[in-house]
Amino acid sequence: MRPHRSSTHRGNPSGPGAGTDRTRSGGKVVPVGRSTEGWRRDDVAQTPTLLTGASLTIPTSASRTPRPAAVDPVAGATMTVAPATPGATRETMPLRGVAGALDDAFDALGVRLPSTGLQRSAVPIDARWLGGVENAQEVRGAALVDLEGALPPGLRGTLLRNGPGRFDRGGERVPHWFDGDGGILRVTLDGRGAATTDYRFVRSKAYVDDEAAGRFTHPAFGYLPEGSPARRSLLRAKNPANTHIVAFGDRLLALYEGARPTALDAHTLDTVGEVDLGALGSSECFTAHPHTDADGRTFGFTYQPGPGGGASVVELGAGGEIERKVRLPGLKAPPHDFISAGPFLVFVESPTVTNALPALVGLRAISDGLGWNARGKTRIHVIDKSTLDVVVTGNAPPFSSAHFGGGRLEDDGTISFVAFIPDDNDPAGQSMARFSRGERTEVGGRPTRLHVDPKTGDIVGRVVLADERVEWPAEDPRDAGDGGPSLWCATQSSTSGYFDGYARLDRVSGIVDRAALRDGVFGNEPVVVVDADDPSRRWLVTVQYDSRADRSEFVVYDADALAKGAHYRGALPAVVPFGFHGSFVPAAR
């Protein structure tokens, strides 16, 4: 979540895909470390495993690992976690240059700080979604197993999804969901009722270092490794490449907004390495949310942290290279997402506060330095697509929205789009950290249609479309950049610990159709796909986690009849952890 989450992208990735802490038991794939005594993390070997061309044996209720008596779900009991206990000094890869000299000096002085990783000692049975926040297993060329219905013949192409897939190493767990190593799911649909799946980790520099060391060795958004301040410095922060995956010809880009894109081979999913897209500076970061309009143009932005840095608006060519790049003056806190609306781009800059110094010197994680300025203003930057220049910057009362959807230019001349505004502002994503530790939390926000005057940058209209938690907007790719009448979103009920439904959101009437998931089933971001044979039909494609069967499922809904339930469900060969964003690449005609 890129080309926008719900966009159709160029390219035709296909071919085989290569593990980690799941094995087969009792006729199903279960995480190593689960036992009849409850969910706990055991000391298990970290040796990668691989499923090759496997078919999944669907478990029966008799074959599932029994659970102990459930704790009171209303009480919201949480997983008990404690900082990982630092062990004896271990062999560590040497640092080079100034960092190496500082590391040696700290070691000589005996300065060695503990890891901020967690050890799991107990897990509440009501935190059923946690099975979707466990280490993934790599898969190559395995078939889906039909559970319900049949795949539509007009659904031809490739679903790509990205998200954190590795949370535990060497007996400790990263404390924030955002810190998991990126893993790419690919589901290839042939239009004849067959589908194959691949799952591969993005082998970043940090991933390779961690594999060699048998533990986490790089600082991340919410994590600091054991070692000297030099080893824990933000300057060594890893690029987990875990947020979105987009296709440009034979190249895939795994995106993470705090670093450069990571290129993957579109056929094998092998990691090629970080790329500069032809115009990125050595430490310049690229958005995790580029947007591709219906006319094929792709826009994004870059950000150079530190003194003298700043943001730039960019347009990408068909091969994923930056073709135009214009400075965006005044943008101090780059957003996670932005809006494409007719002739304009809109950047909504919330009043976040960043104190990076403790992270630079290795004393705190960068997430600890992010805060909210309740007295600040939300700044709205309106950009002309034709020149990429700023038209105007307006101010609004403070609000935040992780994602936006449905941007378009209205007949009255205003720019309208849908934001998802929470009651609480959480720039460090701590609600997602709590979710990944088993704490019941609220995600998403109220869908709210905003109207902006492109001459002043002021918000001149505001309509709340639904009084409930909604997130991850997807749209018909034919409407991208000129918002259509509907968005499709994930929803969270008041009793669920994570997303447990989908809704079609009319930009005027609010929620007009919805699908509620079965008890114990949790959803991901949806993607809208146009039927290749009948363009009047649209499909909502997603991946869900069924906690009762401990399996992930590839699920297809009729996008215009959600209330009918799933049109198709197929079991994936191994559990795929909850992800962030993805895209669909239609098959070549």
R_g (Cα) of the chain, nearest Å: 23
Q: Give the SS3 label for residue 250.
A: coil
* pLDDT digit string, tens, across residues 20-39: 333 333 333 333 333 222 22
Measured from the Cβ of residue 335, the count of other Cβ atoms closer than 10 Å reads 25
Torsion-angle region of residue 55: left (phi > 0), alpha (psi -120 to 50) or beta?
beta
Q: What is the pLDDT of residue 122?
A: 53
**Band (108; pLDDT cuts 50, 70, 90):** confident
**Band (365; pLDDT cuts 50, 70, 90):** very high
Q: How many CA atoms lie within 13 A of 508 on its CB side?
A: 3
* pLDDT digit string, tens, across residues 493-540: 977 889 999 999 999 999 999 999 999 999 999 999 999 999 999 999
**Band (112; pLDDT cuts 50, 70, 90):** confident
Total residues belonging to the chain: 589
Gap between the Cα atoms of 7 and 449, Å rounded = 21
**Are 398 and 374 within 8 A, CB to CB?**
yes
Sequence-ordered alpha helix ranges (H) in 404-509: 430-436
Give the sheet arrangement for strand 80-83, strand by strand.
Answer: 80-83, 118-122, 172-173, 168-169
Beta bridge partners, 274, equal 262
Q: How far is CA 398 from CA 338, 401, 424, in A?
A: 17, 11, 11
Tokens of residue 240, six digits: 């987990």
**Band (179; pLDDT cuts 50, 70, 90):** very high
In a domain, 50, yes or no: yes
Count of the separate structural domains present in the chain: 1
pLDDT above 90 for 415: yes
Average pLDDT of 213-223? 96
Task: Return the higher-pLDDT residue of 432 and 96.
Answer: 432
In a domain, 431, yes or no: yes
Angle at 103 between CA 110 and CA 261, to 5 degrees: 140
Measured from the Cβ of residue 187, the count of other Cβ atoms closer than 10 Å reads 23
In a domain, 8, yes or no: no
In a domain, 271, yes or no: yes
- Which stretch of 113-122, 139-148, 390-399 has the lowest confidence by average pLDDT? 113-122
* pLDDT digit string, tens, across residues 247-296: 998 899 999 999 999 999 999 999 999 999 999 999 999 999 999 999 99
In a domain, 296, yes or no: yes
Instruction: Look up residue 573 and give its amino acid.
Output: P
Torsion-angle region of residue 363: left (phi > 0), alpha (psi -120 to 50) or beta?
alpha
Gap between the Cα atoms of 423 and 445, Å rounded = 7
The secondary element (H helix, E strand) that includes residue 346 is strand 344-349
Largest CA distance in the chain: 70
**pTM score, two decimals?**
0.85
Q: Give the SS3 label for residue 257.
A: coil
Q: Give the list of residues 6+ apart from residue 207 with CB closer than 8 angstroms, or none.
A: 166, 181, 201, 238, 240
Q: Give the SS3 label for residue 168.
A: strand
The residue range of the domain holding 87 is 22-586
Average pLDDT of 163-182? 96
> Checking DSSP bridges between strand 521-522 and strand 538-546, what pairing results, if any?
antiparallel
CATH code at position 49: 2.130.10.10
Tokens of residue 370, six digits: 């992010």
Q: What is the pLDDT of residue 416?
A: 98
Give the distance, in angstroms, between the CA of residue 425 and the centroid of all CA atoms in the same chain: 19
Beta bridge partners, 286, equal 302
Return the residue matching tokens 């009651």: 423
210-229 per-residue burial string, b: 16 or more CB within 10 A, e: under 16: bbebebbbbbbbbbbbbbbb
Give the sheet arrangement for strand 501-506, strand by strand.
Answer: 469-474, 486-492, 501-506, 510-516
Gap between the Cα atoms of 75 and 314, Å rounded = 48
* pLDDT digit string, tens, across residues 32-85: 333 222 223 333 223 333 443 433 333 332 233 332 322 222 233 333 334 444
Please state, rounded to an integer, the average pLDDT across all residues of the chain.
84
In a domain, 362, yes or no: yes
In a domain, 434, yes or no: yes
Gap between the Cα atoms of 125 and 75, Å rounded = 12
Instruction: Look up residue 149 and give its amino acid.
Output: G
Beta bridge partners, 109, equal none
**Are 80 and 57 within 8 A, CB to CB?**
no
Q: Give the SS3 label for residue 420.
A: strand
Q: How far is CA 191 from CA 9, 116, 133, 152, 325, in A?
A: 18, 47, 31, 7, 39
- Which stretch of 81-90, 302-311, 354-363, 561-570 has the lowest confidence by average pLDDT? 81-90
The secondary element (H helix, E strand) that includes residue 446 is strand 446-452
**Which has the closest alpha carbon to 209: 185, 230, 234, 231?**
231
Beta bridge partners, 138, equal 50
In a domain, 6, yes or no: no
